[in-house]
Amino acid sequence: MEDCLFCKIAEGKIPSTKVYEDELCYAFLDINPLAPTHILVIPRRHIDSCAVLTQADEALIGHIFTVIAEIARQQHLDNGFRVVSNAGEEAGQTVKHLHFHILAGRPMTAKMNDRMA
Ligand code: AMP
Ligand code: ZN
């Protein structure tokens, strides 16, 4: 997609620090890391966010999660890691190309069982 930052990164038109790549996806270091390890995994094909996924994307998303597990092994994220995908404004999505954050290397403060204030 034209004028999409992550499409350009996947095509190598904008530089990034590659962590992993194959024919379906690309992984690179987040430019503004929120944890000692902060990696982004993106499909090469432009998809706006996880909110628009359909059955046709199931194999791709399954593949991406297998890649995430492989990256976690390669990076020795043995103490655990968190996978996050923001969809839409209220969730804080700033780049409108589906991406999965892999965060690791510090305790994650917001727990899944935190209650709403
Ligand atoms: P989100 O806020 O969920 O849309 O995440 C977008 C992420 O992309 C943020 O964590 C940014 O730091 C990261 N980011 C933005 N531009 C770049 C870039 N050129 N290279 C690597 N990461 C980037
Ligand atoms: Zn894109």
Give me the mean pLDDT over the 17-26 stretch: 98
d(CA 117, CA 99): 28
Q: Does 32 map to a domain? A: yes
Q: Does 50 map to a domain? A: yes
- The confidence score (pLDDT) of residue 110 equals 73
Answer whether residue 117 shows pLDDT above 60: no
Closest CA to 101 of 7, 37, 18: 37
Instruction: Give 108's contacts (C-beta < 8 A, 6+ positions apart).
Output: 35, 82
Q: Does 113 map to a domain? A: no
The CATH number given to whatever domain includes residue 64 is 3.30.428.10
Q: Does 36 map to a domain? A: yes
- The confidence score (pLDDT) of residue 111 equals 67
63 in active site: no
Q: Does 110 map to a domain? A: no
8-state DSSP, 67:
H
Give the ligand 1 atom nearest the CA of 92: 2
Closest CA to 77 of 37, 107, 112, 109: 37
| Domain containing residue 44 | 5-80+88-104
Lowest mean pLDDT among 19-28, 36-45, 93-102, 107-116: 107-116
What is the percent of the chain where pLDDT is above 90? 91
Q: Does 111 map to a domain? A: no
Q: Tell whether ligand 1 has an atom less than 6 A from the beta carbon of residue 37.
A: no
- The confidence score (pLDDT) of residue 55 equals 98
d(CA 5, CA 64): 19
Q: Nearest bound ligand to CA 7?
A: 2
pLDDT tens profile 30-57: 999 999 999 999 999 999 999 999 999 9
Q: Does 18 map to a domain? A: yes
- The confidence score (pLDDT) of residue 1 equals 82
pLDDT tens profile 61-90: 999 999 999 999 999 999 999 999 999 999
Local confidence band at 109 (pLDDT 50, 70, 90 cut-offs):
confident
Q: Cα separations (Å) of 115 from 27, 46, 49, 111?
A: 32, 34, 26, 9
Number of independent structural domains in the chain: 1
Q: Does 21 map to a domain? A: yes
